[in-house]
Structure 1
């Protein structure tokens, strides 16, 4: 969207809401955006942990061999 499109949106917002309501509307949009970002961050953090391929390779190389599975005497 170029500068002309942005100017058109600003003029339309001024006509619809008036200059007195625009700061209040901007704050409401900012709060909504901030809450949305926090909610999406919480959803991503709550998701199951994904193991990296390097970690699974390291575990496989350290696993005991079948000969080492004997019980101690």
Structure 2
């Protein structure tokens, strides 16, 4: 009964959605839905890789004379408004 949706039913559903929410709010809703999907995907990927041991894939990088650029922490993927610099810990054992 409800298993088969044809083109006319899908068009009718889309028209009802546009009438309910209005054409102005639909792009914002789609944008926030996409952002939520990206966050969910990255979290699922992180959970999947959390249980696996990390193995080095190549030789260790050699230290360079140039200082590294400061790292930043982001609240969510793509969220640049809440990024903040991270202070790197200093190693006092090396001179």
C-alpha distance 17-44 of structure 1, shift in aligned 2 (>3 A):
same
TM-score by length of 1: 0.55
- Tell me which protein shows more helix as a share of its residues: 1
Give 5+ residue unaligned stretches, structure 1. 50-73
Give 5+ residue unaligned stretches, structure 2. 54-95
Q: Matched residue pairs, number?
A: 49
Shift of residue 15, structure 1, vs aligned partner: 1.4
Shift of residue 16, structure 1, vs aligned partner: 1.4
Match of 2:45 in 1: 41
Shift of residue 47, structure 1, vs aligned partner: 1.8
Shift of residue 6, structure 1, vs aligned partner: 3.0
Supply the distance in 2 between the matched residues of 1:17 and 1:26 (Cα, whole angstroms).
Answer: 12
Match of 2:15 in 1: 11
1:1-57: per-residue Cα shift (whole Å, max 9, x none)? Answer: 5433432332122011100100000001000111000010000000245xxxxxxxx
Match of 1:32 in 2: 36
TM-score by length of 2: 0.44
Tell me how large the CA RMSD over aligned residues is: 1.8
- Tell me which protein shows more strand as a share of its residues: 2
